[in-house]
Amino acid sequence: MKVEVANLSWGVAEAQIVREVSLDCPPGSFVGLIGPNGSGKSSLLRCVYRVLQPDAGTIHLDNDEVWGLSARQAAQRIGVVLQEHSGEFDFSVREMVFMGRAPHKALFERDTAVDLQIVEAALRTVNMLDFADRSFLTLSGGEKQRVLVARALAQQTRFLVLDEPTNHLDIRYQLEVLDLVRGLGVTTIAALHDLNLAALYADRLYVLKEGALVASGPPEEVLTPALIERVYGVARRGRTPPAHRAAAYRLSAGVAPGASSNSVRSMPMAEPPLMNRYARHIFICTGRYCDPEGRAPMLYARLAQWLGDLGRYENPCRVKRGTSPCLGVCHGGPLVVVYPEGIWYHHVDEALLKRIVDVHLGEQQPIAAHIFHRLDEESEGTST
């Protein structure tokens, strides 16, 4: 479904919240909406999913203007995953997902076996089928969020709107939920706080500030340090956290980096059994931001040796030497990114991996910068 937003404005009496925003989402595209808190992302999305009536401008789904549709017709075309999961009423997980079938049901129509199949397939997709009889209110934040994604899937729409869909999710489910949505191949608009995720998943990013569009385009063009500083008002931070730097030294010296660290994201690379189970891609990110001390070749050799020992390592492909990324591939699990200051694993496909590499090869390194930013924040909370 093609989605077009043209010159959309919305405001309350005293303030203009969204100012003449235009978005263009080709069929099947994943469009990311980023911007600081209060920049109008949610209001814009509310207009798109027909909860707020815009003061000016139009929203077209293919050829239908959203406000020309009834609430029910709109709900048959737009699936929405919200941040809110309030309510004090104790629905079961299955009942929650069944609500996604409501837009397709006539007043007197009962739920059919087909509906049940759709609901269970949606639950299976988000890995929550085992929870179908659980009470929704007893779930953790991440589980709730996945159920809400399943509800939107059960609506079977060709267009999804996600408002901060990865809030409450840990890194694994952030990536899984977004992988899942991307894998559906439906047109998607997602408001995202996490710039790394925005960079990884969006085909196109729109950047909002104070309700107006300040930039748009492919992530690698949009996410420049200058823009981040202009929009978010923060300078890039490239400090290497001491704990991770120590791990990197140990890694380069052939010492198990994860041995003494129980940090979540620093996967125990030096333990071959885990490696065997999870690793599919090994990606050593280097360059000015990631590897100021030029240790990548050493890391790479070390990895090759481990993986070779495991007999799972094939097609080593050293993309570039020296200050550029190095890459090796082995099969069977998520992407493992090795940074000098620690190891992070991502569940991504090869196309995504290629994009990361491309970005770095082009010496445009916003992703690395943001990951650093994130590592900084997290290490302040977790490392000792």
Partner 1 sequence: MSQAAHTSAVPARPLAVTRLGFGALLAGLALVLLLSITLAVMIGPVPLAPGLVWRVALHQVVPGLITPDWATFQQNIIWEIRFPRVLLGGLVGGGLAVVGATMQALVRNPLADPYLLGVSSGRVARGGGGDPARLQCVWHLLARDGGFSRRTARLRRGLRPGPAGRPAHHRATHLSGVAVSYVFSALTNFLIYNADDGEEVKSVIFWMLGSLGGARWDYLGLPALALLFGTLYLTVQARSLNALSVGEETAATLGVDTSQFRRQTFALTALLTGVLVAVSGGIGFVGLMLPHILRLLVGADHRRLLPVAALAGAIFLIWVDVLARVVVAPQELPIGIITALLGARFSSG
Interface residue with partner 1 among 22, 58, 127, 167 (CB under 8 A) is: 127
E strand or H helix at 201: helix 195-201
Pair of tokens at residue 324: 């550029």
- Nearer of residues 91 and 232 to partner 1, judged by Cβ: 91
Restricting to residues 18-57, name those near partner 1 by CB under 8 A.
46, 49-53, 55
Question: Per CB under 8 A, does 214 bind partner 1?
Answer: no
Q: Give 10-68 as a DSSP string.
A: EEETTEEEEEEEEEEE-TT-EEEEE--TTSSHHHHHHHHTTSS--SEEEEEETTEEGGG
Distance of closest approach, residue 52 Cβ to partner 1, in angstroms = 7
Among 204, 187, 228, 209, which Cα is nearest to 41's?
A: 209
E strand or H helix at 188: strand 187-191
Interface residue with partner 1 among 105, 193, 250, 320 (CB under 8 A) is: 105
| Segment 310-314 long-range contacts (CB within 8 Å, at least 24 positions apart) | 310/272, 310/275, 310/276, 312/276, 312/279
- Nearer of residues 86 and 315 to partner 1, judged by Cβ: 86
What is the residue type of 286? Answer: T
- Nearer of residues 145 and 155 to partner 1, judged by Cβ: 155
Restricting to residues 154-183, name those near partner 1 by CB under 8 A.
155
Residue with tokens 């992988």: 179
Restricting to residues 74-103, name those near partner 1 by CB under 8 A.
74-76, 78-80, 82, 84-92, 95-96, 99-100, 102-103
Distance CA 155, CA 168 (A): 23
Binding residues for partner 1, total number by CB under 8 A:
48
Question: Per CB under 8 A, does 13 bind partner 1?
Answer: yes
Among 239, 203, 234, 209, which Cα is nearest to 221's?
A: 203
- Nearer of residues 69 and 121 to partner 1, judged by Cβ: 69
- Nearer of residues 103 and 342 to partner 1, judged by Cβ: 103
Distance CA 58, CA 3 (A): 11
Distance of closest approach, residue 330 Cβ to partner 1, in angstroms = 22
Phi (first) and psi of residue 56, to 5 degrees: -150, 160
Distance of closest approach, residue 134 Cβ to partner 1, in angstroms = 6
Distance of closest approach, residue 84 Cβ to partner 1, in angstroms = 5
- Nearer of residues 157 and 365 to partner 1, judged by Cβ: 157
Question: Per CB under 8 A, does 114 bind partner 1?
Answer: no
Interface residue with partner 1 among 65, 68, 114, 130 (CB under 8 A) is: 130
Distance CA 195, CA 35 (A): 9
Interface residue with partner 1 among 37, 63, 113, 133 (CB under 8 A) is: 133
Distance of closest approach, residue 224 Cβ to partner 1, in angstroms = 34
Instruction: Find all residues with CB under 8 Å of 333, minimum gap 6, and list them.
Output: 277, 278, 279, 280, 345
Whether the CB-CB separation of 199 and 219 falls below 8 Å is answered with yes
Distance of closest approach, residue 85 Cβ to partner 1, in angstroms = 8
Which residues here bind partner 1, judged by CB under 8 A? 11-13, 46, 49-53, 55, 70-76, 78-80, 82, 84-92, 95-96, 99-100, 102-103, 105, 107-108, 127, 130-131, 133-135, 138, 143, 155
